[in-house]
Amino acid sequence: MKCFLIRDLLPFYAEGQVSKETKTVIEQHFKECNHCRELYESITDYSSELKESAELIEAWEPKSDDREFWRKYYSSLYMKNIGLFFAVLFFIIEMVRFVKSFK
Ligand SMILES: [Zn+2]
């Protein structure tokens, strides 16, 4: 498989949202390609905190269906938090601009 295809799939792979077949293909590619493996490691470093929490949730719920639900729930929560972060950042920038306009 080509590197650019693997790289497109890495975020989903890191979230565990790929099929067994895709997972096998990606893991096979890691054995042959250091660049993609390092890229994957940098992704997992970035989201290691998220993963730890997700693993805690998985430890609470042994049923695989529930685990899948919590994983999806948690990743959607994560995306919402990113949205919230940018909303707050935008708000702060606007506030600074607003305050500066009085000087
Ligand atoms: Zn590669």
Ligand 1 mean position, distance from CA 100 (Å):
49
Asked if the model's pLDDT at residue 19 lies above 90, the reply is yes
Q: What is the pTM of this model?
A: 0.45
**Do 18 and 9 contact (CB within 8 A), yes or no?**
yes
> Alpha-carbon distance 99 to 82, whole Å?
26
Ligand 1 mean position, distance from CA 5 (Å):
9
Asked if the model's pLDDT at residue 15 lies above 60, the reply is yes
Amino acid letter, residue 50: L
Ligand 1 mean position, distance from CA 67 (Å):
30
Ligand 1 mean position, distance from CA 24 (Å):
14
Query: Which chain residues have CB less than 5 Å from ligand 1, an ion?
Result: 3, 33, 36
Asked if the model's pLDDT at residue 32 lies above 80, the reply is yes
Residues 6+ apart with CB under 8 A from 61: 67, 70
**Do 30 and 43 contact (CB within 8 A), yes or no?**
no
Q: Which residue has better confidence, 51 or 96?
A: 96
